[in-house]
Amino acid sequence: DAGVIQSPRHEVTEMGQEVTLRCKPISGHNSLFWYRQTMMRGLELLIYFNNNVPIDDSGMPEDRFSAKMPNASFSTLKIQPSEPRDSAVYFCASSPLGVAGYNEQFFGPGTRLTVL
């Protein structure tokens, strides 16, 4: 398996533009997680899905952020409109949903977003 795939790997955009980040989880994994990592705040969970259903989106900063998982093999994280403070590395991770809470996460390579 190719592991978790994220695209793009790097994104530079201007303030106010819409940004869409994409993630393909490992085949067979039922849980998908979106994280944001910054120097100031470290790794933060934004939202996670179990079986394509959003379970907890309390980490989503504000209404400018939205995430979807239309099927088991694809998820998007959208920021509209983007702001300079959204600059960060965004990681997607997936895990099997075996024994609840006892599942190793597999991380994608991340998308480095810069909003000018």
> Between 31 and 82, whose beta carbon lies closer to another protein?
31
Determine, following the binding rule CB under 8 A, whether residue 52 of this chain makes contact with another protein.
no
CB contact at 8 A, 22 and 42: no
The burial of 108, by beta-carbon neighbours within 10 Å (0-12 exposed, 13-18 middle, 19 or more buried), is given as: buried
- 3-state SS class at 86: helix
Pattern 71-110, binding to another protein, x per CB under 8 A?
--------------------x-x-x-x-xxxxxxxxxxxx
DSSP state of 71: E
Residue 105: CB minimum distance to another protein, A: 6
Site residues (CB under 8 A) for another protein?
A: 31, 33, 42-45, 48, 50, 55-56, 91, 93, 95, 97, 99-110
